Amino acid sequence: MEISVKDNGNGVPDNIKDKIFQPFFTTKPTGQGTGLGLSLAYDMVTKGHGGTLKVSSILGEETTFKLQFPTHEISI
C-alpha cells in the first residue's frame, strides 16, 4: 500500500533532504522546534511497520512524501 502526501510549498533543498529524517534536525530557530517529527514518523513507518518513507522535492514548487507499507494476505 502506498500513501503520497504532496504540497505546493517552497520545496526542500537538496542539501537538507538527506538530513530531514535525522533526530533533532530542524531548520527552525533555537527554541522553535524539536526536530523530532519526521524522525518519529520515519521510525514508525520503517521500524514499526516494515515500510519505507521517502521524500522528493522540486525546489520552489512542491514536496512529496511517499509512505509505503507491506501488505499481508489474511486467510479467513
Q: pLDDT digit string (tens) for 12-55?
A: 999 999 999 999 998 888 888 788 999 999 999 999 999 999 99
pLDDT at 73 over 90: no
Predicted local confidence at residue 32, as pLDDT: 85
User: Grid coordinates representing 55?
Assistant: 521524500
Predicted local confidence at residue 48, as pLDDT: 96
59 confidence band (pLDDT: 50, 70, 90): very high
Residue 49's CB is within 10 A of a number of other CB atoms, namely 13
Class of domain 2-68: alpha beta
| 3-class DSSP assignment, residue 62 | strand
Tell me which residue of 10, 2, 12 sits closest to 56, measured CA to CA. 12
Distance CA(25)–CA(41), nearest Å, equals 13
Are 22 and 37 a contacting pair, CB within 8 Å? no
